[in-house]
């Protein structure tokens, strides 16, 4: 059984125009379907013209009109707006880019919950690529300076991520000036990153993955001599901490002019230095060095020492561990 579908396209002072699609079978057979556009005189009801179209031409007209958002989205139904788009990446991106936040966020939530895996989400966020870049930078560590690592972490602040205290950390300011200076501008104390856990500030000092953690000789006791580079870095970050506790008590602004609302009380500090994988020696010597480093950093108050490979493992867990 065929069904007739008639729709009034519009009218002016002299004419009424209709679209009629006939021959649409309930079973979906389009073999006998056709479309007609016709007009009547508004006063007399006399037909003015009829134009018969194959459905293919009507489909072309529809797709042409769908290019114009003011036509497609001029009205909303009770359950939202419907737009037909082709399976074209550029068309989909263009449509999503022009969507309002109110409509985009629920749509993305639906896609994420129903169709995207944890791996898909990390791919969209670029975290998997960043993790691969981090790994390659560790392999080619001799080719990268401290400034290169600063730029990398600034692009990927999520790597500082969730600490064991379940506080998410973000970067407030790179190369933050955390002290006052002499009148000639000298003796300024600068930390690599000033971080925020949304309530309080934190300080980060970076060295490189190739920074030595130990000297070439052991101590007399069951321990190994820590490197001057490591102890100097701890002294440096302690100076930053002391200066920032003074400066952070007043009003401070980021480079973009935003007021820093986070409090500064007994600042937590993070020192990223060296790599566990570079610890050398016999099995006994490696165990002694690891023990010495662990005892040293566990007994430092408010300073967390992380090696680059430890930080990599934590970043890897953020990307892959939630599977």
Cβ 319 vs Cβ 121: under 8 Å:
no
Q: Looking at residue 51, what is its pLDDT?
A: 85
Q: Which CATH number fits the domain that encloses residue 165?
A: 3.40.1350
Same domain, 46 and 160: no
Higher per-residue pLDDT: 276 or 266: 276
Domain that holds residue 302: 145-321
Residue 304 lies in a domain: yes
**Token pair recorded at residue 10:** 């519009």
Least confident of 45-59, 104-118, 215-229: 104-118
Total count of domains within the chain? 2
Higher per-residue pLDDT: 308 or 53: 308
Same domain, 196 and 303: yes
Residue 130 lies in a domain: no
Same domain, 61 and 149: no
Residue 42 lies in a domain: yes
Same domain, 181 and 315: yes
DSSP one-letter code for 317: I
Phi, psi torsion values for 7, nearest 5 degrees = -135, 130
Residue 302 lies in a domain: yes
How high is the mean pLDDT of the chain?
Answer: 78
Same domain, 157 and 58: no
Q: Looking at residue 36, what is its pLDDT?
A: 84
CA angle (14, 18, 21) in 5-degree steps: 165
- Residue ending a domain, choose from 47, 65, 83: 65
- Residue ending a domain, choose from 16, 44, 65: 65
pLDDT exceeds 60 at position 78: no
Residue 83 lies in a domain: no
Each residue of 109-157: pLDDT tens digit? 666 666 666 666 666 668 888 999 999 999 999 999 999 999 999 888 8
- Residue ending a domain, choose from 17, 44, 65: 65
């Amino acid at each position: 059984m065929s069904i007739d579908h008639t729709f009034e396209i519009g009218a002016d002072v002299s004419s009424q125009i209709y679209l009629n699609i006939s021959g649409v079978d309930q079973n979906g057979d389009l073999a006998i379907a056709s479309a007609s556009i016709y007009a009547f005189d508004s006063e007399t009801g006399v037909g003015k013209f009829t134009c018969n179209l194959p459905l293919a031409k009507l489909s072309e007209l529809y797709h042409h009109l769908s290019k114009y958002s003011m036509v497609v989205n001029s009205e909303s139904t009770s359950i939202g707006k419907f737009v037909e788009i082709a399976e074209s990446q550029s068309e989909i991106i263009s449509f999503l880019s022009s969507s309002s936040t109110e409509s985009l966020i629920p749509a993305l939530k639906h896609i994420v919950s129903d169709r995207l895996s944890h791996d898909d989400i990390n791919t969209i966020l670029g975290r998997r690529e960043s993790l691969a870049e981090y790994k390659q930078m560790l392999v080619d560590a001799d080719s990268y300076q401290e400034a290169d690592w600063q730029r990398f972490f600034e692009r990927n602040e999520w790597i500082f991520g969730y600490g064991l205290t379940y506080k998410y950390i973000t970067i407030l300011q790179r190369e933050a000036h955390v002290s006052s200076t002499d009148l000639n501008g000298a003796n300024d104390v600068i930390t690599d990153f000033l971080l925020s856990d949304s309530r309080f500030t934190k300080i980060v000092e970076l060295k490189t993955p190739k920074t030595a953690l130990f000297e070439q000789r052991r101590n007399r006791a069951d321990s190994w001599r820590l490197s001057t580079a490591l102890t100097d870095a701890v002294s440096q970050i302690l100076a930053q901490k002391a200066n920032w506790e003074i400066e952070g008590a007043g009003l401070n602004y980021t480079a973009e002019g935003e007021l820093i609302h986070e409090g500064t009380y007994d600042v937590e500090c993070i020192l990223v230095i060296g790599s566990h994988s570079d610890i050398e020696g016999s099995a006994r010597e490696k165990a002694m060095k690891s023990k010495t480093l662990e005892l040293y950093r566990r007994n430092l108050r408010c300073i967390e020492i992380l090696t680059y490979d430890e930080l990599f493992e934590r970043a890897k867990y953020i990307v892959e561990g939630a599977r």
